[in-house]
Amino acid sequence: MNTPPAADWLACFELGNQCYTLGDYSAALEHYLQALDLNQGSWEVRNNLAVLLKLLGERALAVQLLREALDLKPDYLDALNNLGNLYRDELRYDEARRCLDDALLLAPDNAEVLTNLGLLEKAQGRLAEALAIYRRAMASPERPAALTFNYAIALIQSGDWARGFGWYESRWALPRLAAQRQQIEAAVPAWRGEPLGGKTLLLWNEQGLGDTIQMVRLLPALRAGLPGCRLLLRVSPALLRLFACIDGVDGVVDASEPPPAADYHLSLMSLPLHFHLTPQTLPAWLPYLAADAALTKQWAARLGARDHRPRIGVVWQSGQAAVGADERDRQDRSLSETALRQLLSAMSADWIDLQYGADPLPVDLQAMMRSPGRIEDFADSAALLAQMDALVSVDTAAAHLGGAMGVPTIVLMSAQGGNLFPAEGETMPWYPSMRLLRQHAPRDWQSVLPALPAWIGGLAKKP
């Protein structure tokens, strides 16, 4: 067999890298496979193909490719680093640590390896150790975007909001968020503290629906500090009706449409830094979102008369179906059918299905709770929540809505935690009516759910 010209496989390899960077994963896969076919002894192609396959959810094949790369080149730093990450995702923590320790022997101060070691410590519930490793990595002259972002999240989770939200601005170096910001800035320049008298400031959110619900608590304070400025809020269609009469802005516009004319833009997620926010300086608490009265009346008719049992909303699934790593993360945060069955069997309650956009459930599970009808958006969700004694939800936007409305809310928090939630304890400073019931170990809801009746008894309003 003749060795193919180096330029052939290298050209395919570089095309694969370019397509991966652009998010064209099907094309990247095709080019990587061509490169590997042309040069079956390449550890570099195996490594990059494994990274792509991990993202697409093919973790077993990714592990195999990385092991092959290390057989070909035992001191291949990138493969050790990536294999450590894969083992961490599969909860094979001892094997992950061995890979990352071996990588550090090759490059003791490598910021990427240290970042992943910090993530491993955090995955095992050792936030203080993770922060110490991140600080060590931050001494590196080269700070990868993943390092500063994960350092920011760990600081926020530790309660150090002042430094955490400062470093959180580094998120714009992450490719996905950078692309969103570029789309906005193609139409509207960023606000960098210029005088805003007589100007229009466009507020928008680059992340999830729950983050948006959380951050709009700060809008009245922003309004008070910017007299004479017109504030527009750009949000997902799912939030338009809920935010139609929200305090603190002059108008709400649809994020599925092109950005409106404005003088400057500012992401909602940058508001905590703007206010130098700490848990102690949050604006005075009042429920800041409310249900529309007419919608509430409509949903009340569908729910019908109450009985002697507490009426409790339940949301068991986090986000919408995805692929690869995003889908694994979603499943880790969500309840399995077995766990949902355990939850609904934990106590006698009038369980109300408040899931927005759920996967289909087996008939027996559907029979254990009442469905009030199709929920079209978060205005519908708010109208239903207004009639609940409590909400039990996984970490998703519905939990934020319950907290923002002041509804007694129990969040079933996965072991990995939430980015803007405290890493420890039962309370969430942002939402006084919220309590966090935490997993003791990843993917283990069974040991957590028996505590639910006592928690509900302590939180729920009396019918």
Residues 255-271 pLDDT 10s = 999 999 999 999 999 99
Q: Looking at domain 293-459, which of 2.40.160.40, 3.40.50.620, 1.20.140.10, 3.40.50.2000 is its CATH number?
A: 3.40.50.2000
Residue 449 burial by Cβ neighbours in a 10 Å radius (0-12, 13-18, 19+): buried
Banded model confidence at residue 282, pLDDT cuts 50, 70, 90: very high
Class of the domain covering 178-274: alpha beta
| Residue 462 scores a pLDDT above 60 | no
pLDDT computed for residue 131 by the predictor: 98
Q: How far apart are CA 463 and CA 448, in angstroms?
A: 26
**What's the CA angle centered on 204, arms 201 and 207, to 5 degrees?**
160
Whether pLDDT at 154 is above 80? yes
- β-pair partners for 153: none
pLDDT at 141: 87
Residue 459: pLDDT over 80:
no
pLDDT of residue 324: 61
Domain with CATH 3.40.50.2000 in the chain: 293-459
Which residues lie closer than 8 Å to 190 by C-beta, 6 or more apart? Answer: 181, 264, 265, 266
Q: In 3-state terms, the chain is what percent helix, strand and coil (to 5)?
A: 50, 10, 40
Task: Give the Cα separation of 427 and 437 in Å (integer).
Answer: 9
Q: What is the C-alpha to C-alpha distance for residues 438 and 416, in angstroms, rounded to an integer?
A: 9
Residues of the chain with CATH 1.25.40.10: 6-167
- Calpha distance 391→342 (Å, rounded): 16
Residue 3 has what pLDDT? 47
Please tell me the distance from the alpha carbon of residue 366 to that of residue 197, in angstroms, as a whole number.
Answer: 54
382-430 residue pLDDT tens = 999 999 999 999 999 999 999 999 999 999 999 889 999 999 999 999 9
The arithmetic mean of pLDDT across residues 31-36, rounded, is 96
DSSP string for 66-79: HHHHHHH-TT-HHH
- Does the pLDDT at position 161 exceed 60? yes
Percentage, residues of the chain above pLDDT 90: 85
> In a 10 Å sphere around its CB, with 0-12 CB exposed, 13-18 middle and 19+ buried, how is residue 219 labelled?
buried
| Residue 323 pLDDT grade (very low, low, confident, very high; cuts 50, 70, 90) | low
What's the pLDDT tens digit per position in 168-202?
A: 999 999 988 999 999 999 999 999 999 999 999 99
Question: Mind listing the pLDDT tens digit for each residue in 343-362?
Answer: 999 999 999 999 987 778 99
Beta bridge partners of 435: 410, 427
Q: What is the pLDDT of residues 107-137, one digit of tens each?
A: 999 999 999 999 999 999 999 999 999 999 9
| Superfamily per CATH, domain 6-167 | Tetratricopeptide repeat domain (1.25.40.10)
**Cα 154 to Cα 1: distance, rounded to the nearest angstrom:** 52
Mean pLDDT value across residues 339-346: 94
Average pLDDT, the chain: 93
For residue 333, pLDDT over 60 is answered with yes
Q: Which element (helix H / strand E) includes 18?
A: helix 6-22
